[in-house]
Amino acid sequence: MSRRKTERLLNLVICLLATRRPLTAEQIRQAVPGYDRDNDEAFQRMFERDKSELREIGIPIEVHRDPWENEPGYRIVREAYELPEITLEPDEAAVLGLAAQVWRRASLAGAASGALLKLRAAGIDADLAEGPLELRVDTRDPAFPALWEAVRDRRVVRFGYRSASSGELRTRVVEPWGVVCRRGKWYLVGHDRDRGAPRVFRLSRIAGQVTPVGRPGAFTVPEGVDLRGMVGFQEQPPERVARVHIRPGTCLGLRHAARSVRSGPDGWDEAEVTFTDPEWFAGWIAGLGANARVVDPPDAREAVIRRLKGALR
């Protein structure tokens, strides 16, 4: 929606809320900026579209027909427009505060902050910034937002997935049942249409874009399915060690996580860092830019190179 149209719809809502009596279409035309005041046909088409769009999103525009007037009048009854008073128990408000903190580093951070602001405006304290509880989720996996939307909309997705054992990249078509976090790693649980069975996919191994297939509501999640249980049965890969060259004076987080750090060649420092999944490790190292470079093992190095080339494209 264009900014001009958004402003016109907002002005129309304000006008119909503020009026004490129903306004005719001509009165609205003169009062609301953005309507064509010279072309009657163009105004009528635009006004009808605006009314339909506002009603579709739940704004109740009422039509009043006065027997003494030739034209109908329009208004929004404030009691029908406003939400009822929101009352939350302290534990319910605490849950909402924690949920907002979960999304603080994700793409939903803006929506979460706006929701807390509205709750505070209603007199509900759901901000736990100073409280004893702290919950953060790392959602740096690029596939997360698209998969979360697909789970919400019950929409089939297609994506490239790299095998943990062979490194081979294959296309998967999946009915996404849920996205689960376990031990700091994100997993997609769903029905793999090509294999005809439930499968678990680690988000860090998803390569490229996640593409929606078909329309929303295309499948139903089986009743009683235990998403966390399915993720918990996944075999954990063995721990490995990577050698990483670090530019002096940088990458403090990586230095703290390293098993050892010593002077390396060409004035760089050399760190030994443990990891289990090359793709997740590559996302971490690639985020450090030119300050870190993986020397070995080769699959971790190649994973970093793929990330950086993808960012360049």
| pLDDT exceeds cutoff 50 at 129 | no
Of 231, 302, 244, the closest CA to residue 275 belongs to: 244
Q: Give the total residue count for the chain.
A: 313
Query: What's the pLDDT tens digit per position in 153-176?
Result: 999 999 999 876 666 788 999 999
Confidence at residue 174, expressed as pLDDT on a 0 to 100 scale:
95
With 0-12 / 13-18 / 19 or more C-beta atoms within 10 angstroms meaning exposed / middle / buried, residue 86 is exposed
Got the DSSP string for 145-186? Answer: HHHHHHHHHT-EEEEEEE-TTT--EEEEEEEEEEEEEETTEE
| pLDDT exceeds cutoff 90 at 39 | no
Beta strands in the chain (DSSP E): 61-64, 73-76, 156-162, 169-182, 185-192, 197-202, 206-213, 240-246, 260-263, 269-275, 292-296
Confidence at residue 128, expressed as pLDDT on a 0 to 100 scale:
46
* DSSP structural state of residue 194: T
Dist. CA 203–CA 147, nearest whole Å = 9
**Beta-carbon count within 10 A of 103 CB:** 18
Is residue 287 very low, low, confident or very high in pLDDT (cuts 50, 70, 90)? Answer: confident
pTM: 0.43
Query: What's the pLDDT tens digit per position in 234-281?
Result: 556 678 899 999 999 898 888 988 999 999 888 899 999 998 778 778
| pLDDT exceeds cutoff 80 at 9 | yes
Got the DSSP string for 246-259? Answer: E-TT--HHHHHH-S
| pLDDT exceeds cutoff 70 at 8 | yes
What residue type is 12 in one-letter code? Answer: L
With 0-12 / 13-18 / 19 or more C-beta atoms within 10 angstroms meaning exposed / middle / buried, residue 6 is exposed
